[in-house]
Structure 1
């Protein structure tokens, strides 16, 4: 007969309390190496033989007692060095910087793992970042326990360090005041500091890095040398003035945004890229072979970089839409997207898969674009200051001196000093600069300057305001005297006025109404269409030499010796002779004229994109239509009027014959 077992309660009361888990910390970094007898214990996890393990109570074989055993989770140890908050100016993303060591001593290099990837139930981050080097034992429970083990182990010495890394440059308001971020840290009113972490990613964006502030005498000398930029194109001083104004204005974008760009265009070999690189060299280690962006970049990449380059000059190099028609259309579409991003200070709206709105990058720089062609459309040109760099325009000795100063870091050093000077004044500029720009803009409008586009006075005022601030800095630095500063500012203003006066020609080239008339004339001269007599549909009763311009060609003579003419192509309209006191008219058939012009433009590789109704309204607004009539319903001017043509009443556009025959 078996012995009577004691009650369960007596067994529990007689049990000895379990000893607390012992934590033995030996070694550092990723943990113990191969063959180490050291054991690190933390909670139900620990390290044995250089690998993470989990401790569990197990029932002994053949009995009811339990003993503790260890189960390996992986073949390595690792530690979260720090938690990184990556701020890109739109949102923040969290990363865990993890490094480790395999049990056989093979190091696992530091990697930045997104927090979301680390805490996901899939638990595949180790192989995602270290490849086949680590091994994790199968099972979801193993992965969950490994994640908890790493987190506990990383916090043995206290909370995991946490820091913020900025992924953009430019002004940022910190607790201590305004600081200008760049690839090497930040600049404040005390000078250069490396306590701020900035990560601009791979590629040439990492070249946005500024040196320590030079001595006052060296900075003054660099300031005097920087003024050579005004002499880089002696025959076109407006180019140098615009570039120096861009350098001065870009760091002030925090106070008042730059919603325009400078477009340097010219034939290949005109050294426009080398000139643009001088302006860019004030913001880092740049030259004509290391621009931060070019036109082969994707749209999203270019927008993201322009957002990163906050309060700095940002160069996009080599707009050259001439490889093929399809490629040219893509380039022009890309240019339109980027320029509108700049002008509107807004990116393209996006939605997540669950239709939530997301923040999108937009340009926060002052962009300089080098190109061999102009963008299409008046609207885009209105957001630009276009400057042509001709092949004989750049002065080589001056360019060489400026390039040498850029290589020696003098330009970047001067910018560091400028930013240090601006830092304690940023709050004041955020209040005053918009007011100054508004006053300068109103003055330009009042004086009839910069009339090429409604945006032009604002762009002019913005550049001049930047120069005023920069020359004030140079004066305080001792690089120029007060009198020299005033003379230089007057010289730059005069040059910029000339630059904006030239914008009229660019606008005229892209004026849709003028282009429509030019294409009509070209279509008639090429023999693709003609203008008929409104009475008999024959050749207009005008001088023989003018018939050619109206789409008629010599067809010899009839039996009686009378000259005959042959019409070419479709009929676009009709010629109407008036009495001697008024000018002759041409009545265009709207649909035929518009369709023919669109086809002719498309065949040239430069499509005509304005709708017919918009085109007619613009022609009426500019006074190109001699006759309009009020709409019966709205009372607004209607561009087409009724006219009797060969016994039929048709609606036509009435233009002067002179505008079609000779322009």
Structure 2
């Protein structure tokens, strides 16, 4: 009785401040009220000095009326407390979470749950977490007192920041590389990282003592595989990915993605998983972090969180229906913009304020049986490499997979090697990039090609430089491989330039026209009325030098042509005319691409498409 009295007095004021007659009244008013038990004591220590008390596992609000009568208002059949406050930081957004545990009548414990701070006030989380065992008292007033009481317990609770992304982070003027099991550079283990909310926990690097020379030697074995173009490129991308933040600070951030192309059975997904084991536990293709069944929004979010690291999106495949085709095309467009332009998709909240955007922050490999047709600009952001069935056999793959843990150890060593250089590398990389881009430039190719050659070479060279520093390779072999890589990447660049040209709007238009004429889908008439070519839809006339096309009709048929192939051709007649003139496919006079010509006695507005250009294709 005495303990109960003292606690209540502390809730409403010091008893010594009360008149003697009121002290007597208070003691009389306590007769018959609920009393706390031994297992309540720990909880009541949390509420000392407040108007709240735990009695037999239930939470009460206790008040004393002016006449000394004590009133106990039951707030819930349970008590709850905030044991930890977690600030989740994904590099873009901060979200506060309370870790709350509880007790019900009889002293039975309620398991700790995580409650977003944004949902705490409603108190609906208690039933969601603990079911019918947690029963708040009715009434809005009781609910608010319950919220107030529980929140009071968090004033002195443990506070922790948990990071929810991969990659480099500057914390208290020190660089750390975050991953699912902690952070490289965090010797004392102070930092917390949790990637499980986005199913990225496999991105975890090993701890403990490592023989970095032996580990890096295992990774170097990948460079012995053929085709050299494919495996040199993949290995370069592995060691380029952790340089993204450094190059971003040096204004030369890589902005492209890799498309690993191969028919079913070529083991492209298994090879992608093998490369990904440099960053964590990805023993086979079934463990890859994403595929084209995922929504474009999810892919965009993951590409943001997998920072300074390699992201794999598996299995771009022929769609079975238009809905699937549209979703996959949107996914490719998002990935292409994210990695090629470092832009996320802008969206609005319900109140018309801008939502946070998720721009890609690492590098990406897409595996697929085909390459998406997304236009020249997007194609220039993609480096396509191929695997043929038989390039790598099952036995070799099994041997390489057995060394998978060594690859992640090699990567941890590479990251540790980078940390002391984080201050000087941005400027060094900037200067190196400018020089390499100039060496790789070619007036006949898209400017992005020279940049991609430069980035691949820089990633490859950085990996070899580290390998030499730990004794995994001698200087002569390093120089030999670096020299060979430049030739491999410039040859790849030439192929990339050709493919980019094939994706030009003008080339696609003219190629479609050639096909449409050859298959008698469209037809043109001899301008002199002597003959005709093709059948189907009429699109214009011709003579020995030109096709005189009604551009609107020709464009309409080309759009239908690509739609029938499950692709698209998005442009306007005006834009198409300008591009055809710029690329030398048509005659133009003073920026006029559609010219008047008298045909069959009437003036007709047509484009003059050179026949010779069609033959060159």
User: Structure 1-normalised TM-score?
Assistant: 0.83
Deviation at 1:308, TM superposition (A): 1.0
Deviation at 1:352, TM superposition (A): 2.1
Name whichever of 360-369 and 342-351 sits farther off. Answer: 342-351
Aligned to 1:356, what secondary structure does the other structure show?
A: coil
> Residue deviations 1:145-193, cap 9 Å, x none?
11222233455xxx221110101011111226111111111111xx655
1:574 to 541, 549, 552: 541
Task: Give the equivalent residue in structure 1 for 2:605.
Answer: 651
Determine if the alignment matches structure 1 residue 291 to structure 2 residue 275: no
Task: Give the equivalent residue in structure 1 for 2:588.
Answer: 628
Using a 3 Å threshold, how does the CA distance of structure 1 residues 213 and 98 change in structure 2: closer, same or farther?
A: same
Contact 1:264/1:272 (<8 A) preserved: yes
1:239 to 225, 230, 241: 230
> Residue deviations 1:321-369, cap 9 Å, x none?
3212332232112211221122221211122222222321111111111
Deviation at 1:570, TM superposition (A): 3.3
2:504 to 503, 508, 511: 511
| Aligned 1:26-105 pairs, distance under 5 A | 31=43, 41-58=48-65, 65-105=67-107
Task: Give the equivalent residue in structure 2 for 1:641.
Answer: 595
> Residue deviations 1:424-443, cap 9 Å, x none?
11121233222222221122
Using a 3 Å threshold, how does the CA distance of structure 1 residues 98 and 54 change in structure 2: closer, same or farther?
A: same
Task: Give the equivalent residue in structure 1 for 2:369.
Answer: 372
What is the rounded CA distance, in whole Å, between the counterparts of 1:197 and 1:40 in structure 2?
30
Task: Give the equivalent residue in structure 2 for 1:148.
Answer: 148
Task: Give the equivalent residue in structure 2 for 1:565.
Answer: none
Using a 3 Å threshold, how does the CA distance of structure 1 residues 56 and 455 change in structure 2: closer, same or farther?
A: same
Contact 1:220/1:479 (<8 A) preserved: yes
What is the rounded CA distance, in whole Å, between the counterparts of 1:382 and 1:202 in structure 2?
34
2:400 to 380, 384, 402: 402
What is the rounded CA distance, in whole Å, between the counterparts of 2:308 and 2:515 in structure 1?
46
What is the rounded CA distance, in whole Å, between the counterparts of 2:563 and 2:465 in structure 1?
52
What is the rounded CA distance, in whole Å, between the counterparts of 1:29 and 1:87 in structure 2?
36
Using a 3 Å threshold, how does the CA distance of structure 1 residues 112 and 528 change in structure 2: closer, same or farther?
A: same
Contact 2:316/2:367 (<8 A) preserved: yes
Contact 1:208/1:285 (<8 A) preserved: yes
**Higher Cα radius of gyration:** 1
Aligned to 2:266, what secondary structure does the other structure show?
A: coil
Deviation at 1:475, TM superposition (A): 1.2
1:307 to 288, 304, 314: 304
Task: Give the equivalent residue in structure 2 for 1:350.
Answer: 347
> Residue deviations 1:370-417, cap 9 Å, x none?
1111122112111111112221322544433221111xx111111111
Deviation at 1:224, TM superposition (A): 1.3
Deviation at 1:455, TM superposition (A): 1.1
What is the rounded CA distance, in whole Å, between the counterparts of 1:154 and 1:660 in structure 2?
75
What is the rounded CA distance, in whole Å, between the counterparts of 1:297 and 1:365 in structure 2?
19
Aligned to 1:130, what secondary structure does the other structure show?
A: helix
Contact 1:73/1:142 (<8 A) preserved: yes
What is the rounded CA distance, in whole Å, between the counterparts of 1:607 and 1:254 in structure 2?
35
What is the rounded CA distance, in whole Å, between the counterparts of 1:341 and 1:28 in structure 2?
55
Using a 3 Å threshold, how does the CA distance of structure 1 residues 84 and 526 change in structure 2: closer, same or farther?
A: same
| Aligned 1:187-266 pairs, distance under 5 A | 187-188=184-185, 192-202=187-197, 204-212=199-207, 214-215=209-210, 218-232=211-225, 234=226, 236-256=227-247, 257-266=253-262
Judging by fraction of residues, say which structure has more helix.
2
Task: Give the equivalent residue in structure 2 for 1:554.
Answer: none
Deviation at 1:591, TM superposition (A): 2.4
| Aligned 1:323-362 pairs, distance under 5 A | 323-362=320-359
Contact 2:37/2:56 (<8 A) preserved: no
> Residue deviations 1:227-275, cap 9 Å, x none?
121233x2x2111111111111111111123321111112111111111
What is the rounded CA distance, in whole Å, between the counterparts of 1:479 and 1:126 in structure 2?
57
Alignment size in residue pairs: 587
Task: Give the equivalent residue in structure 1 for 2:576.
Answer: 615
Using a 3 Å threshold, how does the CA distance of structure 1 residues 74 and 367 change in structure 2: closer, same or farther?
A: same
**Structure 1: gaps of 5 or more residues:** 1-11, 33-37, 60-64, 541-549, 552-567, 578-583, 631-636
Aligned to 1:208, what secondary structure does the other structure show?
A: coil
**Structure 2: gaps of 5 or more residues:** 1-17, 248-252
> Residue deviations 1:510-541, cap 9 Å, x none?
22222222221222222222221212x2306x
Deviation at 1:460, TM superposition (A): 1.5
> Residue deviations 1:90-129, cap 9 Å, x none?
12111111111222344321111112222x2x33221132
Using a 3 Å threshold, how does the CA distance of structure 1 residues 498 and 213 change in structure 2: closer, same or farther?
A: farther
Using a 3 Å threshold, how does the CA distance of structure 1 residues 160 and 291 change in structure 2: closer, same or farther?
A: same
Contact 1:30/1:79 (<8 A) preserved: no
Aligned to 2:205, what secondary structure does the other structure show?
A: coil
User: Structure 2-normalised TM-score?
Assistant: 0.89
> Residue deviations 1:281-322, cap 9 Å, x none?
000001311011111111221111111111111111111132
